Amino acid sequence: MVLKVYGPHFASPKRALVTLIEKGVPFETIPVDLMKGEHKQPAYLALQPFGTVPAVVDGDYKIFESRAVMRYVAEKYRSQGPDLLGKTVEDRGQVEQWLDVEATTFHPPLLNLTLHIMFASVMGFPSDEKLIKESEEKLAAVLDVYEAQLSKSKYLAGDFVSLADLAHLPFTDYLVGPIGKAYMIKDRKHVSAWWDDISSRPAWKETIEKYSFPA
């Protein structure tokens, strides 16, 4: 029974998908219809009690939180594919550091941009222009730190691609695409080179080709 990923068409679950594809792990996907509120029904809440995507079921084992799924997959299949956790305790520390930066510092302002630029009208709430401006300023300050870091090493955690880089893919893909703020990446030389590198990895291309957001 192969591993199942719930909610593949949304952004956060793509952190799990790209990791599974990088590691060559077979999986299947199960759509979750957020528009119909399927994520708030008992069957789904039994897998993910907060009612968000993704949820993952691996045989008898259940796990949620996209970045935890990434770590679980990278650890369980450590011996195959790229070592996305780093080879030493010190390297893994840097991977964990930048994974946490993504989760707690990079993602929140980008999520605000996503919700208020891409989804406000679809979800029926007014787009908050003040919040959009503040969020872009916060994200710009974060990207300035990334620019300095990526002038010192090719990837965030060092000279090896890791979960820390891959975790940025789904929402940065929104930033340079439907959010319409590609300049935030392109205007920073090292961030731009990093983005070109990670977003052209075959595993990411496969992820967005197979699981694009439903039109």
For a second copy, the binding residues (CB under 8 A) are 49-50, 61, 63-65, 67-69, 71-72, 75-76, 89-90, 92-94, 96-97, 99-101, 103-105, 107-108, 142, 145, 148-149
Please, which residue, 32 or 157, has the CB nearer to a second copy? 157
Cβ distance 90 to 167 under 8 Å? no
Task: Name the minimum Å distance from CB 202 to a second copy.
Answer: 26
Q: Is the dihedral of CA 214, 14, 171, 103 positive or negative?
A: positive
Task: Name the minimum Å distance from CB 188 to a second copy.
Answer: 14
Task: Name the minimum Å distance from CB 58 to a second copy.
Answer: 9
Contacts of residue 153, defined as CB under 8 A and 6 or more positions apart, other chains included, come to 159
Please, which residue, 79 or 200, has the CB nearer to a second copy? 79
Task: Name the minimum Å distance from CB 100 to a second copy.
Answer: 4
Please, which residue, 167 or 203, has the CB nearer to a second copy? 167
Please, which residue, 72 or 211, has the CB nearer to a second copy? 72
Between the alpha carbon of residue 105 and those of residues 38, 78, 110, 139, 190, the distances in Å are 29, 28, 9, 8, 19
Task: Name the minimum Å distance from CB 75 to a second copy.
Answer: 5
- Buried b or exposed e, range 3-24, using 16+ CB within 10 angstroms: bbbbbbbbbbbbbbbbbbbbbe
Give residue 55's region: left, alpha or beta (phi > 0; psi -120 to 50): beta
Please, which residue, 97 or 127, has the CB nearer to a second copy? 97
